[in-house]
Structure 1
Amino acid sequence: MLECNKNCLFFNQDQNDGFEKWIVQLLGPVLLGEKPAEIVSFPKKDNLELRRIKDIFSKCNKVSYKEFVAFNGCKKILFYNSKLLDSTLLDLRNLVFLKKLGYGEEYSLDNYLGHLINKMEEDSIPHEIGVFLGYPLKDVIGFMGHPSLKLTKINGWNVYGDSRLSDEKYIKFNNAKQQIRRMLEKSSPEMIVQSA
């Protein structure tokens, strides 16, 4: 990976097929229904790769996406599994938490996604994105600085308090990526995305 001057990460664009495989493997947990969402950054000049990825995912029934330009000028795509993200956000603890952060009293997936993206376009990546990405709420709250939650370890994300739930999630996310990696040995990225 390389880092662009606007603090966004992207894959080396000289490896076209490798780029598509990398994206599909990264999104494996979303494709396989283990993770509600994932966010990917693209450099401003990488329009060809961006179009290719959007073309591949436009044929996917399970994963939707929203493209936007973040506050720092990086193009980003939020890929999400609508069904899983909806159930994640409707979890009562997550819903109460998000409402306290200014998300609408009347829940709708589109409105909550719109509110999140608006924050990322105008200001910064808000801490609550962790809820959308499927991280345990305790880890999101701990990352925000809640004094009763101490950093336990870093395992894909910052884990606070009892690590068992976080470890279970991490294992599921990682297993999905490994499953997609094995599938990529036999099928093209397009075929995997279309069959999801």
Structure 2
Amino acid sequence: MAPTVIHWKKSLDQKESVQVRFEKWLFVNLSKVIIGGKTGELIRFKAPFFRKSLLETLRDGEKLSHQWGLEVFVLRKCHNCAHVIFYDSQRLEDALDEARKTPLLERLQYDQQITGKEFLEQLRHKWQHKGTIPHEIGIAAGYPVKDILGFMGLAPLPLTTVCGWQIYGDANPSLIMKERFDQAQRWAMDYIDVDQSIFLRDELRH
């Protein structure tokens, strides 16, 4: 485990319980990226979030993600909610390299030499303009390019199975990836000693 994550875990002892719950929630929800090699994770925040305002949530989320080696990009924001992508910048560049080997970027009218940051900026613009989330966000969220192509009807691949996302064509590579992501999340939960209740934020507890 990275020294920064070890240091973060130790720092929890000095924090208030509600802050600890927020940080553990975020760590587990980002564990597929932090530990499992996933490119990114899209998270929707709605205030109040662990008793935080939206501004406080975004501020603390960005601070923590940088501590864990991730970047943050706000894709959509309203007065009390935000859709945020937490991502590994190099993995996003690698994912775009994979996409360039397919018709995906060209068919969707993206520049072939687009950078990761530019890609996210264009995703935000499309989302704001059309009012719906662009399906190609799957590139930044770490899903296999073949499954994105199949889902969007840009490749003649049959729907093989559904396991967290729709898998097209040869299922094995996607299922192996899914298991790696799930294992990372299980490991993260064990590391900070939490169970499934971690996924229930304070505002939804009774």
TM-score > 0.5 by shorter chain: yes
* Aligned counterpart, 1:36: 39
Matching residue within 154, 167, 184 for 1:176? 184
Counterpart in the other structure of 1:111: 118
Partner letter of residue 120 of structure 1?
Answer: W
Task: Write the distance in 1 (CA, Å) between the matches of 2:102 and 2:23.
Answer: 34
Count, aligned residues: 172
Equivalent residues of 1:94, 1:137 under 8 A apart: no
Give the TM-score, by structure 2 length.
Answer: 0.71
Give yes or no for the alignment of 1:78 onto 2:78: no
If the length of structure 1 is used for normalisation, what is the TM-score? Answer: 0.74
AA in 2 matched with 1:118: H
Q: From 67, 88, 97, give the equivalent of 2:104.
A: 97
1:49 aligned partner: 57
Alpha carbons of 1:113 and 1:95: their partners in 2 closer, same or farther (altered >3 Å)? Answer: farther
- The one of 149, 154, 170 equivalent to 2:162 is 154
C-alpha contact 2:150 2:159 (8 A) present in aligned 1? yes
Structure 1 residues 135-182: Cα deviation after superposition (integer angstroms, max 9, x where no partner)? 112211221235732322211111122211110110111111122112
Q: 1:137 to 1:58 in 2, by over 3 A?
A: closer
Relative distance call for 1:24 and 1:167 in structure 2 (3 A) is: same
Separation in 2 of the partners of 1:58 and 1:92?
A: 26
Question: Is contact 2:76–2:124 with CA below 8 Å preserved after alignment?
Answer: no
Q: Which runs of 5+ in 2 are unaligned?
A: 1-17, 195-206
**Which structure has more helix as a fraction of its residues?**
2
| Amino acid paired to 2:26 | I
What is the percentage of aligned positions where both structures have the same residue?
Answer: 30
Structure 1 unaligned spans of 5+: 1-14, 187-196
Q: What amino acid is aligned across from residue 35 of structure 1 in structure 2?
A: K
Q: Larger Cα Rg: Structure 1 or Structure 2?
A: 2
RMSD (Å), alpha carbons? 2.8
Of 187, 193, 203, which residue of structure 2 is paired with 1:185? 193
Distance in 1 (alpha carbons) for counterparts of 2:146 and 2:184: 23
Moved over 4 A (4+): 92-96
